[in-house]
Amino acid sequence: MQGYWGARSLDLLRTVKSHWTSACRISFTELRAFLLSLVGRTFSSCSPSSWGFLLKGLVARPRRLAEAVTMAVKGHHYFRMTRIVLEGRSQNSESVVMR
C-alpha cells in the first residue's frame, strides 16, 4: 500500500491478537473473491505496493493472511475513492471558473 497507510496496517496486523473468526474455513465465495482480487491487483497501477504489502503481511503473520488481504482490498478502495472524489472536485471547480 502507499507509505504511511501500509506501514500502519502492517503494525496493526502484527500487534492485534487473532480473533476466533480468523480460524474459520474459507468458503468458495471467499476464495473466488480472493482470486478475482489477485487478478485485478496484477493489472492495477498500485500493483507493486499492493503485492509488497501482501508479502510483508504473509511474512509477519502467516495465519493472518485473510486479514492482510482484507486490509489490502480496503486500502485499494480507499485510495481509489479518494482519487475519484478529488478528480470530481477539481472538475467542479474548473466548471465554476469557466462560468
pLDDT digits (tens, 9 = 90+) for 8-61: 888 877 887 766 555 567 788 878 887 887 777 677 666 777 788 888 888 888
Residues 6+ apart with CB under 8 A from 61: 13, 14, 67, 68
Burial grade of 58 (CB within 10 A; 0-12, 13-18, 19 or more): middle
Predicted local confidence at residue 92, as pLDDT: 66
The pLDDT of residue 2 is 57
